[in-house]
Structure 1
């Protein structure tokens, strides 16, 4: 895996007191970041769509928490997870209250896999748009 960037991942957690989502960010200083520009067809015709392929080296698993455990834990500022509909941006990102606070070129996670069992290059893979 070629390390060519850094990223910030934003994890969503529901706060029952405020009845709103709270977004926790984690900066990861090494990753492989690739963006393919695709043309997709939807109800409004053809449009450009960025398709993100991101890989995070397995060595960052020390602070990684499975999404099911993450959801039920108190607070979340010291750990990170990968879950559908979370967000990733390239580089160091700002604190946010809602996803619309993110820079224009953000990646909404649509798929992911835990490839830490890969003996050659253990990593987490994120796909998104």
Structure 2
């Protein structure tokens, strides 16, 4: 797979004890990021529908281990793991910002150009290890 970007992924997990979301940051190096600009007609006129298609190889460079979403939530110490799930945030590039609240999430969106919310995750695990990847659609 041809890669053209590194990304920072923020896994968002609801913390029942505090009643807020917690964010776990992961850097993934060597992904393919493709922006698509589209418009969609609505009853109020034409609305921009910009999306990013992000292809994350299973072999992307990271210091963490992948867990499926339900297994990620079950981990008591999440800092050594990551997942890819709808609702999580993804930023093109490596950013060091730590998020602790919804206000931080908005600040992140205002500070960087390519901040998206993951809408769809497809697991493509057929073929050779070099071909296996997640296809992420983020809005």
Identify whether the pair has TM-score above 0.5, normalized to the shorter chain: yes
Give the aligned partner of residue 99 of structure 2.
Answer: 96
Q: How many residues align?
A: 129
Q: Deviations over 1:54-104 (max 9, x none)?
A: 011111497110001112221311111011111111001221123213234
The match for 2:26 is 26
Give the structure 2 partner of residue 127 of structure 1.
Answer: 137
Match of 1:82 in 2: 84
Aligned to 2:118: 109
After TM superposition, give the deviation of residue 7 of structure 1 in Å. Answer: 0.2
- Secondary structure of 2:71's partner? helix
Off by >3 Å, runs of 4+ in structure 1: none
Offset of 1:43 from its aligned partner?
4.8
Distance 1:12 1:44 in 2: 32
Distance 1:43 1:86, change over 3 A: farther
The reply to whether residue 14 of structure 1 matches residue 14 of structure 2 is yes
How high is the TM-score relative to the length of structure 2?
A: 0.83
Q: Deviations over 1:38-62 (max 9, x none)?
A: 1123453212221110011111497
